[in-house]
Amino acid sequence: MFNVTKKSIQWGEETLTLETGKVARQADGTVIATLGETSVMANVTFAKEAKPGQDFFPLTVHYQEKYYAAGKIPGGFFKREARPSEKETLTARLIDRPIRPLFVDGFKHEVLVMCTVLSHDLVNDPDVVAMIAASAALTLSGVPFMGPIAAARVGFVDGEYILNPEVEDMDQLRTKPDQRLDLVVAGTKDAVMMVESEAYELTEEEMLGAVVFAHEQIQPVIDLIIDLAEDAAKEPFNFVAPNYDDLYAAIKAAGEDQMRAAFALSDKQERVAAVSTARDAIKAALSEEQLADANLGSAMKKLEASILRGDVVKTGKRIDGRNTTDVRAIVSETGILPRTHGSALFTRGETQGLVVTTLGTGDDEQIIDALHGNHRSNFMLHYNFPPYSVGEVGRVGSPGRREIGHGKLAWRALQAVLPAATDFPYTIRVVSEITESNGSSSMASVCGGSLSMMDAGVPLKAPVAGVAMGLILEEDGSYAVLTDILGDEDHLGDMDFKVAGTENGITSLQMDIKVAGITPDIMKQALAQAKDGRMHILGEMSKALTEASDFSVHAPRIETMQVPTDKIREVIGSGGKVIREIVEVSGAKVDINDDGQIKIASPNGESIKKAYDMIWSIVAEPEIGQVYDGKIVKIVDFGAFVNFFGKRDGLVHVSQIENRRLNHPSDVLKEGQEVKVKLLGFDDRGKVRLSMKVVDQETGAEIVEEKKEEKSED
């Protein structure tokens, strides 16, 4: 009944298996990839005809994590998987980016790739497994795909690269100082297609070495996919790439000069208007048959690309007049919003981000429900890209894949320089509002986020800046690497290579390309140019702020204290009675962790001190020889009981009240009276012994009796 094909290799510490022919046989291509005990099923289907007039490639990639894969039931009322999580959205993008450029030019049939996590061993991250499964399914499906690709994750510990480190190591990257890298690389047999990373100030040489290491490690996986395809691939789909040479020639003759003049304008708004006018003029010169051609958009884009790309490679001059290594003019401002905890406006050319930082308490931490367990995050970065930022009218809704992806890239760049939670016990939320955009708004979010957090008083280890690099790669092998690319250079170029970091090294790297891969030499040059650009931007940012500012008066103050774990029960009290009393009396917010760390938060310093003192009185032990303020709670025949240390009481014996004989303690004392006492010690039964007579009741100073020296007589 089944025609099963299965191939396996030993890959790193685990066995990688690809299987097809048993499940989902009606899809054009289905592969179940298993690494260890993590299994992902990838299904590929594609339309056998393009929609009439289709002028773009409609590729859709979905990645789904099923909770049953880890033996879990989803939370919430409905108990089923709902909208994609951030991890699912980011992984779908991770799969899409390296496969999209590898479809045959001109192929505009609808393609759907669905990856479903079926089993998760809590050791091997399913995202890399999904990328391998998707590549294998595409290779088997017969769709015109110039793959296969493979992917690998790389860690970096003690100068050594680690293939496919465990999920736990990557999730706790900030708390593992020896683990300095989380890098995912995808590539073909000959070249790298995609890079995504989170790093802790790696040098350019270390980062390039990690990319090269990953590309070497994926070679056996590519061979495995080819081996599977030789036994199980379907016949290639009969697709003939459209020929629109005649249409392109007509378009070029009708408007090349006008289009070239439009691209010569350095101002974006003027250039956009002039390019639109040139397009209208070209269309006016075409016949109805040419206007109805489905390849009209492709031919028009080819003309625009040839003008922009050719001039850059030949002359080294770009459409805004810069050379290949220039960074646009930068203006950095901080503290521009009076009521926020921290704010910055970062402007680079025609790209601008208004970035705002808010500080919160432990209650504000984000709880993340993942397949491998729940965890909390005290750092969030949210990125918004409204239509007005590019002068357009558009629908405003919930964040899309682009917003989530750009926000995560900026998050990765900045999280490496955050202070330890024990040193800075705040929850940090950064929001980047992109108010203008013409290239690399994610890197503007990095720069603005760094400034905004410093303006809020966050003691970053170092400022972070980011820059986007581009590439023009011609058919003859000539190329130009561009620093700080414009939107048009991104749209019509061959690479979007984003690098963020401090003066000491790289904290995040992301690369997407539109050609069939780039070489290590090109990447090395891009990293070197990016370092120069990053240093320039950091210098410009320093004109606004070089270190953390004072705290905003509107931000909560948080003080931490550590108590023994066996005292936590006493601080909380029966049914939470004690902790509620502390909060009500002091007015501060109190969070207690299982490890005994207590965070006390309030905008009012007096409230924090009051809560701190109340907790300290519960958990601290009185010291023998110390003087304490107390209150008499009960008088008996043999002395007085004094409450002197939180809820602790002790006895002042009648002989320790004054330096004279008393008939009864009530002769000089009354209940409720405030007194000063010295802790003498504890009796055999552990009862507290106090003294009043050795303490000056006015000043609280201890009375020291002077010993009279005896003089010897001759």
**In the chain, % of residues over pLDDT 70:** 97
| In a shared domain, residues 413 and 442 | yes
Q: Which of 61-70, 318-327, 424-433 has the lowest mean pLDDT?
A: 318-327
DSSP state at residue 25: T
231 pLDDT exceeds 70?
yes
Q: CA dist 197 to 151, 364, 446, 489, 682, Å?
A: 13, 27, 15, 23, 61
Picking from 328, 330, 326, the residue whose alpha carbon sits closest to that of residue 544 is 330
Average pLDDT score over the chain? 90
Q: Helix H segments across 560-677?
A: 568-572, 577-586, 605-619
> Could you give the dihedral angle defined by the CA atoms of residues 269, 270, 271 and 277, in that order, rounded to the nearest 10 degrees?
110
What does the block give as tokens for 669? 């004392």
DSSP state at residue 699: T
| In a shared domain, residues 282 and 342 | no
What share of residues in the chain are helix, strand, coil (percent, to 5)? 35, 30, 35
pLDDT for 307 equals 84
| In a shared domain, residues 561 and 512 | no
The phi and psi torsions of 627 (rounded to 5 degrees) equal -100, 135
Q: Which of 6-20, 260-274, 680-694 has the highest mean pLDDT?
A: 6-20
pLDDT for 503 equals 96
Structure confidence by residue, pLDDT tens digits, 444-477: 999 999 999 999 999 999 999 999 999 988 777 7
On whether the CB atoms of residues 493 and 470 are closer than 8 A, the answer is yes
pLDDT for 156 equals 93
Dist CA 640 CA 631 (whole Å):
10
What does the block give as tokens for 558? 């948080």
| In a shared domain, residues 180 and 201 | yes
| In a shared domain, residues 399 and 523 | yes
| In a shared domain, residues 588 and 655 | no
Quick check: is 289 in a domain? yes
What sign does the dihedral 652-656-658-661 (CA atoms) show? Answer: positive
pLDDT for 713 equals 44
Quick check: is 448 in a domain? yes
CATH number of residue 256's parent domain: 1.10.10.400
pLDDT for 179 equals 83
Strands 465-473 and 479-483: antiparallel
Quick check: is 438 in a domain? yes
| In a shared domain, residues 199 and 65 | yes
Quick check: is 407 in a domain? yes
For residue 646, what pLDDT band results from cuts at 50, 70 and 90? confident
pLDDT for 479 equals 86
Amino acid sitting at position 461: K
Quick check: is 552 in a domain? no
What does the block give as tokens for 102? 């590898």
- Measured in whole angstroms, how far is the alpha carbon of residue 562 from the centre of its chain? 29
Q: At 447, which helix (H) or strand (E)?
A: helix 441-455
On whether the CB atoms of residues 150 and 223 are closer than 8 A, the answer is no
For residue 174, what pLDDT band results from cuts at 50, 70 and 90? low
Picking from 155, 97, 120, the residue whose alpha carbon sits closest to that of residue 33 is 120
On whether the CB atoms of residues 449 and 381 are closer than 8 A, the answer is yes
Quick check: is 134 in a domain? yes
CATH number of residue 635's parent domain: 2.40.50.140
pLDDT for 386 equals 94
- Give the number of domains in the chain: 5
3 state SS of 294:
coil
| In a shared domain, residues 92 and 181 | yes
Q: Which of 536-540, 573-577, 646-650, 692-696 has the lowest mean pLDDT?
A: 646-650
pLDDT for 714 equals 42
Structure confidence by residue, pLDDT tens digits, 361-418: 888 889 888 787 778 889 999 999 999 998 888 888 889 999 999 999 999 999 999 9
pLDDT for 138 equals 98
Quick check: is 240 in a domain? no
Quick check: is 696 in a domain? no
Average pLDDT (501-507) is: 96
On whether the CB atoms of residues 429 and 414 are closer than 8 A, the answer is no
555 pLDDT exceeds 60?
yes
What does the block give as tokens for 189? 């047999």
Structure confidence by residue, pLDDT tens digits, 12-33: 999 999 999 999 999 999 999 9
pLDDT for 168 equals 78
With 0-12 / 13-18 / 19 or more C-beta atoms within 10 angstroms meaning exposed / middle / buried, residue 637 is exposed
| In a shared domain, residues 511 and 418 | yes
154 pLDDT exceeds 90?
yes
CATH number of residue 599's parent domain: 3.30.1370.10
What does the block give as tokens for 48? 């056998």
The phi and psi torsions of 62 (rounded to 5 degrees) equal -120, 140
Dist CA 706 CA 685 (whole Å):
33
pLDDT for 330 equals 96
| In a shared domain, residues 424 and 570 | no
215 pLDDT exceeds 50?
yes
Amino acid sitting at position 250: A
Structure confidence by residue, pLDDT tens digits, 280-332: 999 999 998 888 888 898 899 889 888 888 778 888 888 888 899 999 999 99
For residue 406, give its domain range. Answer: 330-541
| In a shared domain, residues 129 and 265 | no
CATH number of residue 424's parent domain: 3.30.230.70
With 0-12 / 13-18 / 19 or more C-beta atoms within 10 angstroms meaning exposed / middle / buried, residue 678 is buried
For residue 175, what pLDDT band results from cuts at 50, 70 and 90? low
pLDDT for 709 equals 43
Picking from 237, 231, 238, 236, the residue whose alpha carbon sits closest to that of residue 21 is 231
Q: Which of 283, 315, 347 is the last residue of a domain?
A: 315
| In a shared domain, residues 655 and 608 | no
Q: The pTM is what?
A: 0.85
Distance in Å from the first CA to the final CA of the chain: 125
Q: Which of 216-220, 302-306, 631-635 has the lowest mean pLDDT?
A: 302-306
On whether the CB atoms of residues 179 and 169 are closer than 8 A, the answer is yes
